[in-house]
Amino acid sequence: MLALFILIPFILLLILNLPFPFVNAEVAFWLSAFLFLMQIVLAFVHPWLAWSNYTLPLGQFSKFKLVLDPLTLVMLFTIGLVVLISLLVAKCTITTEKRKFHFINLLLISLVGMNATVLVSDLFSLYVFVEIAAVAVFVLMAIEKSRFAIEGTFKYLMLSIIASIFMLTGLAFFILACGEVTFAGIHNVFLSGTNLVLLNFAVGVFLCGLFIKCGAVPFHGWVPDAYSEAQSAVSVLLAGIATKITGVYVLMRLFTSVFIVKASLQNALMLVGLLSIVFAALAALKQDNIKRMLSYSSISQVGYIVLAVGCATPLALLGAVLHFFNHAVSKSLLFVNTAAMEKKFGSTDISIITGMGNQLPVTNNTLLIGLLSTAGIPPLLGFWSKLIIILALFQAQRFTYGAIALLASVITLGYFLFMERNVFFIKTETSADKSGVPFTIKFCEVLLAGIVIAAGLTLPFILNSQIFYFKGFSN
Amino acid sequence: MTLNLILLFVLLLTVIWTVMTIRLVHAVVGLAVTSAILAAIMYRLGSPLAAVFELSVCSGLISVIFITTVSFTQRLSKERLLIRRRERLLRFLYLPLIIIVVGILLVKYLRIPQFNLPYFTGPEDPRSVLWNLRHLDLLGQAVILIAGVFGVVVFFKEDNK
């Protein structure tokens, strides 16, 4: 039954491309919006997913070996939410009907890829669906066909191919060492301790590919161009969820279900995490374009997740999942804010839009919430996720890592406040015309800001009530 | 074993030529030859079906697509060609040296330990593997083809209208 999370978007994709007279961009929009909404609801009220044990009479399609656990539920919920927001933003920012229709189709393909990535229990299938999500995103990034968008796409494509080579090579060595590619099978070979040299080599090579997909330092070269040059709705998808599922989720899944975590592996991962946090935060200070600043901030926040995964205690993994969710929501919010700015001013350069914040009151307030949550200010969701990660680091006697991660939060707050001051708090003699931003974008801004606040205020309740089954993330 | 090593060495040479050559058509031919040699290696290692796929798709079909695309481009003038060739040579001057040094180091110091490799116990018939074992990946294959079609439509067809 879980296969429906993969099959329904695929069937919808086929229906939209059959020569039915009633199919157009508007119908595609509403059908897709309903589908994304259903995914959010089903992932949130997961007890209803008890029907996942029921097997539909779908022949071979019902025999997919899929997995449903707390991590999958959080991912399905987040994917549904960000994809829905991206769709809503696209409705306002993509001008031609034809292009809008293509965007929706590619969004459905990326949804198939991402849903399957989080549901599969097999390393080879995971690789296949990671690639599907990535291919859909390549085309989406270049959908506007501007010179800079194509340049950003090209950089992402080239580095993604290198990442794929690493991942495939790692996979080949996993097959050589284990004779199979299921998570459980590989985990059992790790437990048995045979062929450890081959397994360690496979893990190392596979991780290099994943670091490129994550955009972690020093594999981050493609991220700023890809995030900042893409169309607004694509930026939301890319920064909010696509690269997180294809890189960060896979890392979390491998560390919770497949690999046996060793000290050397932990140290390597934590070093990459820390480098990402510090270097990206420092690089963000220099940026004069909001989208580029957010791109570097994204690298820095991914660093926190990698750091927490490397720490590998149950508390750290809980922090990693929470920070993943916070990052997806906050970054989507911030990129929706930039969509509003682009719509209003046609630019996100700080020098061009300085002092014009009074024309965008909703964007102004929601941007502040997104920035504060990303920087880790209480009582917003980002505060709790960072607090849990830093507590886990201290608990695991990783004091230096914890202290540097804490200091980097201050840098994050610094560059965000600098941007906020320049854009919204400097008074200039501009007109107070508050029109120009569509209601849908304002709705997305308020919705995402509401989630950041509500999740932050009710987090203890969420953890205790096990709505997301956040407890017990460990091997 | 000796023939396999010779094939691997020739494969390395064709790969280097594919990367180093200045003309796109030469690079495509180099890629086709590389794929053909790879197919021969696959056949010798006991994967005849993989070899057939490699030969027909990578060496055949993809080369045709590449050459069709290259035929739409313009040939470089002799002067530009000379400049490009010089630039390329300077850029890759150290590549053969690096390969030789790495090769010597590997031969001298790399000692591959004995592995207790598992025996594959699944079905050996590729049809059975594809349809019964990897059917989710087949669905993935279908989706990625559709993504490719949308790529072509987005990049080329929209402009024509």
The answer to whether B84 faces chain A, any CB pair under 8 Å, is: no
Residue with tokens 């997806």: A328
Query: pLDDT for B5-57, tens place per residue?
Result: 999 999 989 998 898 888 888 999 999 999 999 999 999 988 888 899 899 98
Q: What is the pTM of this model?
A: 0.89
The answer to whether B147 faces chain A, any CB pair under 8 Å, is: yes
Distance CA A104, CA A108 (A): 6
Contact check, Cβ <8 Å, A102/B115 = no
Instruction: Report the sign of the C-alpha dihedral through residues A364, A366, A372, A377, in that order.
Output: positive
The answer to whether A247 faces chain B, any CB pair under 8 Å, is: no
Distance CA A91, CA A30 (A): 11
The DSSP bridge partners found for residue A122 are: A182
pLDDT at A472 over 50: no
Q: For residue A126, what is the nearest residue in chain B, using CA coordinates?
A: B137
The answer to whether A178 faces chain B, any CB pair under 8 Å, is: yes
- The ipTM estimated for the assembled molecules is 0.85
Asked whether A22 and A59 are in contact (CB, 8 A), the reply is no
Burial class (CB in 10 A: 0-12, 13-18, 19+), A269: buried
Q: How confident is the model at residue A29 (pLDDT cuts 50, 70, 90)?
A: very high
Asked whether A179 and A188 are in contact (CB, 8 A), the reply is no
A65 neighbourhood in chain B, CB within 8 Å: 136
Asked whether A75 and A249 are in contact (CB, 8 A), the reply is yes
Distance CA A473, CA B18 (A): 48
Best probe of the B interface among A67, A99, A139, by most B CBs < 10 A, is A139
Residue B107 distance to chain A (closest CA, Å): 19
> Quick one: pLDDT at residue A9?
93
Query: pLDDT for B48-63, tens place per residue?
Result: 888 998 999 888 888 8
Average pLDDT, chain B: 85
Is residue A472 left, alpha or beta, with left meaning phi > 0 and alpha meaning psi from -120 to 50?
left
pLDDT at A470 over 60: no
Contact check, Cβ <8 Å, A176/B117 = yes
